[in-house]
Structure 1
């Protein structure tokens, strides 16, 4: 599985983000391109936060955790967590710039060994964090054909 910590995968994601335009349309789902790049910031915010947090165990998190970082692509049209749903209009260029900066900030942490637990899925290894972040971005970039 590719990881956002790998220099080649990191550069691939940055190139694909640059390929997005105002005219990029989804192959599936309800988000437009501005909403999608805003949505993609959500898991990176979780990973980049140093704020102490506890993991609250739940069945969904337990059942789906391994699918977050394995080699199998996510299905189209999976439900989105309420907190990560973006329904208002967003400034595509500004939000893409924020996302790109967050991707850079995450990649820089490739040597970090201590990570806060994910609030829904619990503890990840650094390798799993990198895979999770790559997989989420890849899923949505494929959604928009880049």
Structure 2
């Protein structure tokens, strides 16, 4: 069975993994701190759940990349550049790590509760279905949790 964040069991497994993450956790690759990674994931997940991006025409390249990334590749590739508005960098000011982690958990809990169809475009995959958003969101969270060894 493919892993999809809209599945309650899959969402709970992601939550159990993030609970192992601490403010002092170091990444195995990349430049983000654990705080920055969680804030990046929170930003992406809010955008998915709120549907704050419109639709656009899907190119053949996006369609093929979607098939490869969501169904054929076991994991997302390391080093893929994120959209600028999801790059947190050093924008963290006086935020509590546990609060950021709690927001991550709350957002993950919202995926299985979502009953609306998602109609936003993915920047790399074009227009994708709600189910495909769940797969992409799972692979994204899995990618970053593996980045921090959890």
Q: Same fold (TM over 0.5)?
A: yes
Aligned position for 2:139:
135
Equivalences for 1:8-23 in 2 at 5 Å? 8-23=9-24
Bigger mean CA deviation after superposition, 135-144 or 7-16: 7-16
1:122 deviation in Å? Answer: 3.0
Q: 1:59 to 1:26 in 2, by over 3 A?
A: farther
Using the TM superposition, give the Cα deviation of residue 102 of structure 1 relative to its aligned residue in structure 2, in angstroms: 1.0
Residue 115, structure 1, aligned to residue 118, structure 2: yes
- Which residue is equivalent to 2:54? 53
Measured at CA, do residues 88 and 61 of structure 1 come closer, stay the same or move farther in structure 2, by a change above 3 Å? farther
1:64-118 deviation line (CA, Å, top 9, x unaligned): 3334422521122222221211111533222111111111112211x43x21222
Q: CA deviation at 1:34?
A: 0.2
Q: Aligned Cα RMSD in Å? A: 2.2
Unaligned runs of 5+ in 1: none
| Counterpart-to-counterpart distance in 2, 1:50 and 1:83 | 15
Structure 1 match to 2:32 = 31
Q: Is the 2:29–2:147 contact (alpha carbons within 8 Å) kept by the matching residues of 1? A: yes
Runs of 5+ unmatched residues, structure 2: none
State the distance in 1 between where 2:100 and 2:12 align. 19
| Residues 22 and 89 of structure 1: CA distance in aligned 2, closer, same or farther (over 3 Å) | farther
Q: Which segment is superposed worse, 62-71 or 39-48? A: 62-71
